[in-house]
Structure 1
Amino acid sequence: MTTARDLAIVALDTATGKPVEQGDLSLALAGAEVFDLIEARALVLDGDRIVPSAQAPTGDRLLDEAAGALVRQEPYEPVEEWLWRRGRGLASAYVDDLERIGLTGRPRGRRIPLLSGRTELVDSPARRAAEDRWTAAEPVLTALAAAAGIGDEPPEGSEELATDTAATVLAAVGDAVMELEAVRQRKVIEDAAFDNVWRGY
């Protein structure tokens, strides 16, 4: 399993608590794909720019799709631009893919389950593997989840997070999530101002 898919599983598994913002999760999933593609040797980072390597199938449909979407012309794409471009609707894509491969199902006992739009994780080796990584507080998974608003920040001093590559990707995810939150706040203020004008204030 990939870090991105494990993150999607963790997000569904913890969805009963504080709701996860789809945009934040999408950005974190795009960041997780960068880590997965580095591990698959499909890319390397040159500073904050994503430099593709020779494309080879990873065996994961969404990850292969991500590899095929990499910009292959210089000066290449900064990580944060990738997050915004690749992240659009990515949370929904992962939820749909989990259902497609049988890792989630519609809850039983509902008369019209399709109208609920909710799927639930089924017991599977993939779910248990993701839960094991989560329980073990695997640093990259924990850091990406925290950026999406799930769980706590990983403890400082982790060697895995101290590398230039990890720091670059996680900083880009954090910046993108903060920028998205700023956009949300601006929209709330603009909507409130519009409502006041509409009411004659």
Structure 2
Amino acid sequence: MERLTLADELVLLAYDDAGVNRLGSPALDHGLAGAVLVELALARRVDLVDDRLVVRDAAPTGHPLLDAALATIGADRRRRSPKDWIPRLAKGLPDEVLAGLVAAGVLRREADRVLWVFPRTRYPSPDGGEPPVETAARQRMTAALTVDGPVDARTAGLLALTRAVGLHRRLFPEVPKDRLKSRLDEIAAGDWASAAAKKAIEQTQAALLIATTAATTAAFVAST
């Protein structure tokens, strides 16, 4: 398939080899919306003006999911913050991203029932192992964390997303916690994107942290 989007990579990282979403919903939904905004910022299609997202370049990116989000943002008469856009763009995103990965042969869709009663849909790889494109994403992220130096913009953006949704500690258990935190801080402060793109990404990351924390709290309250 063509180069994966950040949303594609985030889905692959969020699903285990059995095809089960270990991040949960709505954390994954919000994370994917954040991934779309980060991708558009890196492509210089959107910027922040007075902490509100605006379309800088309406030219299509060539990817339907990104172009749909870009058109939606551009068509809105109100300027909204990343915090406002995340829940609006999140609806249906996991299904769209997963369908694309299935169509490309990266994943397969399996429907079954738990205890023969409760329906469940899983998305393992065709051979049941880790997809090579996911392995490649993990390798470049691990390299960025364990070796000092500059990091490319897409890897830095993906690391910011995994941190924002609380997935980073699960992905890199072999990296000492102190090193993981300090290196992520260092990468976030690095010169890997334009000032405008970094500001948009930082606000998206902050919005994801708020949304994820709220979802976790709501789930805890509901279970008690």
- TM-score tier by shorter-chain length is 0.7 to 0.9
Displacement, 1:86? Answer: 0.8
Q: Find 1:135's aligned residue among 136, 142, 153.
A: 142
Picking from 9, 16, 19, the partner of 2:12 is 9
Q: Which runs of 5+ in 1 are unaligned?
A: 107-112, 190-201
Residue among 38, 44, 48 paired with 1:41: 44
Identity %: 27
Q: CA deviation at 1:21?
A: 1.1
8 Å Cα contact 2:55/2:73 also seen in 1: yes
Structure 2, unaligned runs of 5 or more: 113-119, 145-154, 170-180
Q: Residues 180 and 47 of structure 1: is their aligned pair in 2 closer, same or farther, counting only changes over 3 Å? A: farther
For the 8 Å contact 1:21–1:148, the answer to whether it is kept is no
SS in 2 for 1:27: helix
Residue 9 of structure 1 deviates from its aligned partner by: 1.7
Q: Secondary structure at the match of 1:45?
A: strand
Aligned counterpart in structure 2 of residue 59 of structure 1, from 59, 62, 87? 62
Structure 2 CA distance for partners of 1:136 and 1:17, relative to 1, 3 Å: farther
RMSD: 2.9
1:145 and 2:149 equivalent? no
With over 3 angstroms needed to count, the CA separation of the structure-2 counterparts of 1:114 and 1:25, relative to structure 1, is closer
Q: TM-score, normalization: structure 1?
A: 0.75
Q: Is the 8 A contact 2:55 2:74 kept in 1?
A: yes
Which structure has the larger Rg?
Answer: 1
Report the number of matched residues.
183
Bigger shift: residues 16-25 or 38-47: 16-25
CA deviations on 1:24-77 (whole Å, 9 max, x unpaired) are 111111111111112223211124311013422222221122212215445411
User: Residues of 1 paired with 2:26 and 2:199: CA distance?
Assistant: 25
Map 1:91-170 onto structure 2 (within 5 A).
91-106=94-109, 113-115=110-112, 117-122=121-126, 126-137=133-144, 138-152=155-169, 155-158=184-187, 159=190, 160=192, 163-170=198-205
- The TM-score normalised by the length of structure 2 is 0.68
